[in-house]
Amino acid sequence: MFRILGKSPSGKRLERIKNSPNYKNGAFQNIEPTEAILKDASMPKMLKEIFFNRPANLSPAIDVTAFKIDLTKLSDTKSSIVWFGHSSYYINHHGFKILVDPVLSGHASPFSSMVKAFKGADIYKAEDIPEIDLLLITHDHYDHLDYKVVLKLKHKFKKVLTALGVGSHLEYWGIDTNKIVELDWWESYRANEKIEFTSTPSRHFSGRTLKRANTLWSSFVLDLGNKKIFLGGDSGYDSQFKKIGEKYGPFELAILDCAQYGANWPYIHMVPEQTTQAALDLQAKVLLPVHWGKFALANHPWTEPIERINKSAEFLKVFVNVPVIGQVIEF
């Protein structure tokens, strides 16, 4: 049971962390001052909202629409993405296969009875994932790093790319050290002659226990040679989107967090209108909103993020693609 909590960085990894410009006073820091939870957001107040002010449509009344496809049948001569709900998705770029933040165990917490997937949304399992070239983990929260899935996939991926410090969990769970690549912000990893990943800042936090921010949280720029994709991870809105857009844009596609926002944590998750603005800042041709459609981690109606995204995108003239789970998107 306790292995699911992971392990704090130590040894040479901790020394590397201490030398990071983003690590100060014993913890990683966001570039802009950030409160994970507002100081006046008391625990009784938040519990009252969770248990007594829940909207009736916090979760779907019927099964979520989803398609089950054979991922091995995707063309190796095209570029495509398949979304699995929340922030999990599979990319096949001309035969190079990437799996991002796969949470496929039916829940997004250390306890299987808590934060369960919506009915119908959990149709993809670890067993459905083919052999992949690279597993990408943006940060160590339970709705992005699934212990059970990592164990089931550890012989299916050649490399795992993640934010600095997260490798400590992976090693503790038995992943070969030689498979693990950890990046600090602005560092890059070249997967092959044509594909390069760069870790870029996000505005969030980390932690699988009460200890926070001892591993980094990241977004990633995926440079495919002839096009670039922005893999957003979790983030609140800030000036970094514009800076990343100026440095690496334009992007063919930006995959961005649009849900699980709340008035008590306004700096670590974007509201939908901020997500649309972030896509503009990044100079993205297409916005693919994620972090919704599978789990209820905040107190808003489950479809509200997409309803607001569509309105905001129309107003700001941003092209948005909202797939259903399992739909193949070519880019």
Lowest mean pLDDT segment, chosen from 17-21, 40-44, 188-192: 40-44
At 250, list the tokens: 């334009």
User: In sequence order, what are the residues at sequence separation of 6 or more whose Cβ sits closer than 8 angstroms to the Cβ of residue 15?
Assistant: none
Whether omega for the bond prior to residue 250 falls within 30 degrees of 0, making it cis, is yes
pLDDT band per the 50, 70, 90 thresholds, residue 219: very high
Which of the pair, 55 or 63, is modelled with greater confidence?
63
Q: What is the mean pLDDT of the segment spanning 265-289?
A: 98
Spell out a b/e string for 288-314, using b for 16 or more CB atoms within 10 Å of the CB, else e. Answer: bbbbbbbbbbbbbebebbbebbeebbe
The set of residues, in sequence order, having a beta carbon less than 8 Å from that of 243 and lying 6+ positions away, is none
* Per-residue pLDDT band at 48 (split at 50, 70, 90): low
Question: 145 burial class (0-12, 13-18, 19+ CB within 10 angstroms)?
Answer: buried
Give the pLDDT mean for 155-176.
98
Helix (H, G, I), strand (E, B) or coil at 51: helix
pLDDT at 39: 85
pLDDT at 52 exceeding the cut of 80? no
Q: Is the pLDDT of residue 50 over 70?
A: no
In order of their start, the domains of the chain are 9-25+63-330 (3.60.15.10)
The answer to whether the beta carbons of residues 261 and 299 sit under 8 Å apart is: no
With CA atoms as reference, report the closest residue to 96 among 131, 65, 57, 124.
Answer: 131
Distance of alpha carbon 68 from alpha carbon 86, whole angstroms: 16
Numbers of helices and strands, H then E, in the chain: 7, 15
The CA-based dihedral angle spanning residues 168, 169, 174, 177, taken in that order and rounded to the nearest 10 degrees: -30
